[in-house]
């Protein structure tokens, strides 16, 4: 029987084809068959083998009746039918595939065409049970196969005239053969792709190759809808003539699927990239597979430097810092929260949400939230880790916590301060009131009187100290206190302090020592006397207060360009945890204990405030029970010898030999004090109660040789009175006296040319000494 086609043309079909004899001997399998199922001709040449490899689907009801031999037998009895079955085929590599096969019986041969429907069981079976009639037996071999073929099959001669088209052409496109026969060739192909297809096919015809040509193009169906097709063009022999066979498969769905996969991938990667947190995809070895834009920007590294890097080596946990090798080698790595979260998610699939972690990054130590999620695929697992930077939030939180703590502490301290100050004021006031009453008793002995007066004095200076401290602090906090740099005879200043404090410890088991490193001339420095005195007073007050026995040493040493002052005691000492706190206002260590020592918690704050104003540093070194050493260091600014102004040159000579002194003072009690204090000095006193009166008296009484001028007075203040007097008595010595121990008053008094300055409460000794200086120059 003449062969209509060359059987090897089956090799170009996209489906697996097997041709076998009635007795079930295999005659031929095409290349696709081997490709799809792995078997060579020899592997499956016998019927037994076919019964084993083609088996029924599990859910098939005819499970028991199915066998390859039976199927062939069935078809042999129903001649000319195309028989379509679905079953499973066990591949050579034992893989099981879902297949659909069409069987046609022609003469003594079966032609079987297999479709792999494992991934898509949509393979067309339109031709099931369709009867082919009036066909030449031999034609059936090819045409029955082609007719029952789900893909479009077209055969052209070399001049590209259409010779044959299978029914799938009409089924799939809706076009009839007549529609295309009289139209330009390949008219069903989309105009945009047509020229290229024609060109490729003609090139293929004229080439020597027998390998099929694969093309992708669009087809326009009857309704002008676009279908994407994949075409296999092969040279075959048809009716003994060389022809071109085009097998065209509709791939619109997979194309659409592909497009939607691409689209969905794009969407996912846009979401991934635009996430405001760092997102990292990790494999089972915790290596970085993918990292989003935020992640790259926060790590400040390009992807190629991070790809496949271990998560731990990129994000080094703060507790792994002690290991230079990075994550996993540090002492505390086993407890690492990052590692635990990742491992747990991998092993149990449990996601972790907002694990707080601290990492060392290029921007320093930062705090993050780590969340982990398992992504499970068929054959692998990945982890999606997201890292949210909460450093700022954390800082604000800490700041807030700190502020709240501070506010609570400050509230507590204020309450304690009010209680303390009330106590500090009431105690000396009680003393003053009580003893001043007792003094009124006529029957007092001289000794008792002395004791009462001493107690009155002590209580008054205690009270004055409290008032001074409060005033000093409030001035420091409300005014911008200026610093007046003047010549300070440091050794003299310390000597004076020594005298004062030596008197205070006279009844205590304490010795007071003074260390001065420089001689008197070199000890003259530029500084602010008031502030320096205030600092020392506060430190010495504490030293005396907190030392029961032993010694108190104070003084200074020169350290390079700095002068370091110190006040050391052998008192109760201070634990290290309080070394900073005690400089905060109102702060007192262990209130119960400290109450035994009194105080308001302001002394060190005032000392520190003044050291700050002088541009220095203050600190303490101490331990509980072993005394304390307070230090403050300032720039050493010595006055060079030639610049030193010797006070011996002052004051200006008195122009009167009469020791008449005018006391300008509006407070009666203060004037009485002056009278009392100057009783032993041979002077007469005149009293003026306001500025104007002072000026008048000076004008009238030329024999006045000294004016003690209060600054704050009614009608005219002391400064204005001074200026008025100086106009007509330029050489009359005028000494300012004020209750405001502020540097600005002193500065103003100096600028105006006051001859000297007395701070209230005026100490008797100081006053007498000064008066003597003026009246007995």
Contact status: 476 vs ligand ADP (CB under 6 A): no
Work out the number of other CB atoms within 10 angstroms of the CB of residue 394.
15
**Part in contact with ligand ADP (CB under 6 A); list of ranges 19-27, 267-275, 445-453, 586-594:** 586-594
| E strand residue ranges, 585-627 | 617-622
Contact status: 756 vs ligand ADP (CB under 6 A): no
**Part in contact with ligand ADP (CB under 6 A); list of ranges 135-143, 525-533, 600-608, 741-749:** 600-608
Q: Are strands 241-250 and 152-157 parallel, antiparallel or unpaired?
A: antiparallel
Q: Which CB sits closer to ligand ADP, 435 or 554?
A: 554
Sketch the per residue contact string, 565 through 584, with ligand ADP: x for CB under 6 A, - otherwise.
----x-xx-x-------x--
Sketch the per residue contact string, 606 through 645, with ligand ADP: x for CB under 6 A, - otherwise.
----------------------x-----------------
Cα angle: 353, vertex 359, 362; to 5 degrees: 130
- Contact call for residues 333 and 339 (beta carbons, < 8 A): yes
From candidates 150, 212, 312, 599, binder to ligand ADP by CB under 6 A: 599
Minimum separation from the CB atom of position 468 to ligand ADP (A): 12
Rounded CA-CA distance 193/278 in Å is 45
| E strand residue ranges, 117-204 | 152-157, 162-165
Minimum separation from the CB atom of position 569 to ligand ADP (A): 5
Contact status: 546 vs ligand ADP (CB under 6 A): yes
Rounded CA-CA distance 57/65 in Å is 12
Contact status: 600 vs ligand ADP (CB under 6 A): yes
Rounded CA-CA distance 294/153 in Å is 53
Minimum separation from the CB atom of position 604 to ligand ADP (A): 3
Query: Structure tokens of 412?
Result: 């507590």
Q: Are strands 152-157 and 162-165 parallel, antiparallel or unpaired?
A: antiparallel
Helices (H), 275-300: 293-299
Rounded CA-CA distance 507/357 in Å is 62
Work out the number of other CB atoms within 10 angstroms of the CB of residue 333.
18
Minimum separation from the CB atom of position 546 to ligand ADP (A): 3
**Part in contact with ligand ADP (CB under 6 A); list of ranges 25-33, 601-609, 697-705, 743-751:** 601-609
Minimum separation from the CB atom of position 545 to ligand ADP (A): 6
* Residues ≥6 apart with Cβ < 8 Å to 553: 512, 513, 514, 515, 566, 567, 568, 569
Q: Which CB sits closer to ligand ADP, 172 or 588?
A: 588
Name which of 209, 208, 217, 206 is nearest 246 in CA terms. Answer: 217
* Residues ≥6 apart with Cβ < 8 Å to 228: 216, 217, 218, 250, 251, 252, 255
From candidates 605, 694, 743, 756, binder to ligand ADP by CB under 6 A: 605
Q: What residues numbered 513-542 form the site for ligand ADP, per CB under 6 A?
A: 538, 542
Minimum separation from the CB atom of position 714 to ligand ADP (A): 36
Number of residues located near ligand ADP, criterion CB under 6 A: 21
Q: Which CB sits closer to ligand ADP, 154 or 416?
A: 416
**Part in contact with ligand ADP (CB under 6 A); list of ranges 128-136, 595-603, 709-717, 730-738:** 595-603
Q: Which CB sits closer to ligand ADP, 601 or 651?
A: 601
Q: Which CB sits closer to ligand ADP, 30 or 605?
A: 605
Minimum separation from the CB atom of position 476 to ligand ADP (A): 13
Rounded CA-CA distance 312/295 in Å is 14
Residue with tokens 């499973």: 88
Contact status: 604 vs ligand ADP (CB under 6 A): yes
Name which of 551, 538, 543 is nearest 597 in CA terms. Answer: 543
Minimum separation from the CB atom of position 542 to ligand ADP (A): 3
Minimum separation from the CB atom of position 334 to ligand ADP (A): 45
Q: Are strands 381-389 and 278-282 parallel, antiparallel or unpaired?
A: antiparallel
Contact status: 543 vs ligand ADP (CB under 6 A): yes
From candidates 588, 694, 738, 742, binder to ligand ADP by CB under 6 A: 588
Name which of 583, 599, 549, 584 is nearest 569 in CA terms. Answer: 549
Burial class for 501, CB neighbours closer than 10 Å (0-12, 13-18, 19+): buried
**Part in contact with ligand ADP (CB under 6 A); list of ranges 346-354, 512-520, 592-600, 661-669:** 592-600
3-class DSSP assignment, residue 205: helix
Q: What residues numbered 127-186 form the site for ligand ADP, per CB under 6 A?
A: none
Rounded CA-CA distance 578/531 in Å is 25
Minimum separation from the CB atom of position 558 to ligand ADP (A): 24
Name which of 713, 711, 712, 663 is nearest 684 in CA terms. Answer: 663
Q: Which CB sits closer to ligand ADP, 435 or 632?
A: 632
Sketch the per residue contact string, 197 through 236, with ligand ADP: x for CB under 6 A, - otherwise.
----------------------------------------
From candidates 205, 589, 658, 759, binder to ligand ADP by CB under 6 A: 589
Q: Are strands 684-688 and 660-664 parallel, antiparallel or unpaired?
A: parallel
CA quadruple 434, 437, 443, 446: dihedral positive or negative? positive
Q: How far is CA 373 from CA 309, 358, 508, in A?
A: 19, 20, 75
Rounded CA-CA distance 494/59 in Å is 110
Phi, psi angle pair for 680, to nearest 5°: -80, -15
Minimum separation from the CB atom of position 413 to ligand ADP (A): 11
Q: Which CB sits closer to ligand ADP, 371 or 542?
A: 542
C-alpha gyration radius of the chain: 56
Q: Which CB sits closer to ligand ADP, 175 or 604?
A: 604
Minimum separation from the CB atom of position 502 to ligand ADP (A): 18
Minimum separation from the CB atom of position 455 to ligand ADP (A): 21
Minimum separation from the CB atom of position 428 to ligand ADP (A): 14
Rounded CA-CA distance 587/600 in Å is 8
Contact status: 245 vs ligand ADP (CB under 6 A): no
DSSP one-letter code for 754 = -
Contact status: 425 vs ligand ADP (CB under 6 A): no
Contact status: 603 vs ligand ADP (CB under 6 A): yes
Q: Which CB sits closer to ligand ADP, 280 or 540?
A: 540
Residues found near ligand ADP in the complex (CB under 6 A): 538, 542-543, 546, 569, 571-572, 574, 582, 587-589, 594, 599-605, 628
């Amino acid at each position: 029987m003449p062969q209509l086609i060359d059987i090897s043309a089956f090799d170009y079909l996209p489906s697996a084809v097997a041709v076998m004899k009635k007795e079930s001997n295999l005659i031929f399998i095409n290349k696709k068959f081997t490709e799809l199922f792995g078997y060579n001709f020899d592997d499956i040449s016998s019927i037994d083998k076919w019964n084993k490899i083609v088996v029924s689907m599990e859910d098939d009801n005819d499970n028991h009746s199915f066998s390859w031999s039976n199927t062939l037998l069935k078809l042999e009895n129903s001649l000319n039918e195309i028989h379509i079955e679905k079953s499973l085929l066990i591949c050579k590599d034992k893989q099981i595939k879902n297949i659909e096969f069409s069987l046609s019986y022609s003469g003594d041969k079966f032609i079987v065409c297999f479709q792999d429907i494992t991934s898509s069981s949509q393979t067309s079976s339109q031709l099931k049970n369709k009867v082919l009639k009036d066909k030449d037996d031999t034609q059936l071999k090819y045409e029955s196969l082609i007719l029952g073929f789900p893909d479009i099959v077209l055969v052209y001669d070399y001049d590209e005239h259409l010779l044959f088209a299978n029914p799938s052409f009409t089924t799939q496109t809706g076009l009839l053969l007549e529609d295309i026969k009289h139209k330009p060739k390949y008219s069903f192909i989309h105009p945009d792709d047509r020229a290229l297809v024609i060109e490729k096919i003609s090139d293929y015809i004229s080439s020597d190759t027998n390998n099929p040509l694969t093309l992708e193009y669009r087809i326009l169906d009857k309704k002008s809808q676009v279908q994407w097709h994949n075409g296999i063009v092969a040279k075959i022999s048809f009716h003994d003539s060389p022809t071109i066979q085009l097998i065209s498969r509709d791939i619109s769905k997979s194309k659409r699927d592909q497009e939607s996969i691409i689209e969905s991938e794009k969407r996912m990667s846009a979401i991934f990239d635009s996430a405001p947190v760092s997102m990292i995809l990790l494999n089972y070895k915790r290596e970085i597979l993918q990292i989003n834009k935020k992640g790259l920007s926060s790590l400040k590294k390009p992807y190629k430097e991070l790809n496949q890097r271990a998560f731990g080596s990129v994000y080094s946990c703060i507790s792994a810092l002690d290991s230079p090798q990075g994550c996993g080698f540090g002492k505390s790595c086993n407890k690492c929260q990052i590692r635990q979260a990742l491992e747990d998610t991998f092993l149990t699939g449990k996601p972790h949400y907002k694990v707080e972690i601290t990492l060392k990054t290029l921007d320093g130590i930062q705090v993050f939230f780590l969340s982990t999620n398992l992504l499970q695929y068929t054959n692998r697992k990945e982890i999606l880790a997201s890292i949210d930077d909460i450093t700022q939030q954390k800082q604000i939180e800490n700041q807030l916590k700190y502020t709240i703590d501070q506010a609570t502490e400050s509230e507590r301290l204020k309450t304690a301060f009010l209680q303390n100050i009330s106590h500090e004021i009431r105690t000396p006031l009680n003393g003053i009131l009580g003893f001043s009453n007792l003094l009124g008793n006529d029957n007092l002995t001289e000794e008792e009187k002395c004791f009462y007066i001493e107690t009155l004095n002590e209580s008054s200076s205690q009270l004055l100290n409290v008032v001074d401290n409060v005033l000093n602090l409030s001035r420091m906090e409300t005014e911008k206190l200026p610093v007046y740099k003047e010549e300070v005879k440091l050794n003299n200043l310390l000597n004076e302090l020594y005298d004062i404090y030596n008197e205070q410890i006279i009844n205590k088991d304490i010795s007071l020592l003074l260390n001065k490193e420089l001689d008197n001339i070199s000890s003259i420095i530029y500084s602010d006397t008031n502030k320096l005195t205030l600092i020392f007073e506060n430190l010495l007050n504490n030293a005396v207060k907190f030392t029961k026995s032993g010694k108190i040493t104070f003084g200074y040493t020169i350290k390079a360009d700095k002068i370091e002052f110190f006040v050391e005691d052998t008192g109760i000492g201070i634990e290290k945890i309080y070394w900073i706190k005690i400089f905060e206002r109102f702060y007192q260590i262990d209130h119960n204990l400290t109450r035994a020592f009194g105080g308001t918690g302001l002394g060190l704050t005032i000392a520190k405030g003044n050291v700050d104003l002088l541009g220095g540093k203050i600190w303490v070194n101490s331990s509980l029970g072993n005394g304390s050493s307070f230090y403050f260091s300032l720039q050493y600014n010595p006055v060079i010898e030639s610049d030193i102004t010797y006070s011996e040159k002052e004051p200006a000579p008195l122009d009167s030999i009469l020791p008449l002194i005018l006391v300008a003072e509006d407070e009666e009690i203060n004037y009485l004090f002056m009278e009392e204090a100057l009783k032993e000095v041979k002077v007469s006193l005149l009293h003026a109660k306001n500025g104007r009166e002072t000026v008048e008296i000076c004008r009238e009484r030329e024999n006045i040789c000294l004016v003690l001028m209060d600054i704050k007075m009614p009608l005219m203040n002391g400064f204005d009175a001074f200026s008025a007097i100086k106009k007509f008595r330029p050489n009359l010595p005028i000494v300012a006296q004020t209750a405001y121990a502020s540097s600005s008053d002193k500065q103003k008094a100096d600028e105006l040319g006051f001859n000297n300055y007395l701070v209230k409460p005026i100490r008797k000794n100081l006053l007498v000494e000064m008066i003597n200086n003026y009246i007995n120059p």
